[in-house]
Amino acid sequence: MKYDEVSNALFNAFPELIRDDCSEGLPYCIAGNFANYLLEKYKNNSLDTLVLAGAFIENLYLYKDEEIDNLATVGYLEAIQNVWADNAKEMVKYLGKVSSNQWKKLNKYWNGEIVDLSTNS
């Protein structure tokens, strides 16, 4: 998968996710919408959607592409942390190994403990 294909893959995997004005060419805006969508699913106890979301995010890291990795971490994971606020830790149980490690790195980054969010560090 290429970076510019990630958003379409997301909409294909989550057909209920609404396309809006930011859906065209703005993957980080789409990531924010996705975080809101997942929060609604969490509140409605639609845990199967969270499992699918965790797998979708985890699979993005398999492409070993710096832009896609950055979108997965700074786009999707950080958006979930910001949008979900106090509930954010609930999403961790649905993440895979790499995405869970990136989640922890985000926390360390915001605490000033690290400066590099790449999957290589």
Q: What is the pLDDT of residues 54-91, one digit of tens each?
A: 999 999 999 999 999 999 999 999 999 999 999 999 99
pTM of the predicted model, to two decimals?
A: 0.93
In a domain, 41, yes or no: yes
What pLDDT shows up at residue 27?
A: 93
Domain count for the chain, please give it: 1
Query: In terms of C-beta distances under 8 Å and separation of at least 24 residues, what long-range contacts does 89-98 make, across chains too?
Result: 90/42, 91/38, 91/42, 91/50, 91/53, 91/54, 94/47, 94/50, 94/51, 94/53, 94/54, 95/54, 95/57, 95/58, 96/54, 96/55, 96/57, 96/58, 97/58, 98/58, 98/61
The range of the structural domain enclosing residue 76 comes to 3-110
In a domain, 95, yes or no: yes
In a domain, 56, yes or no: yes
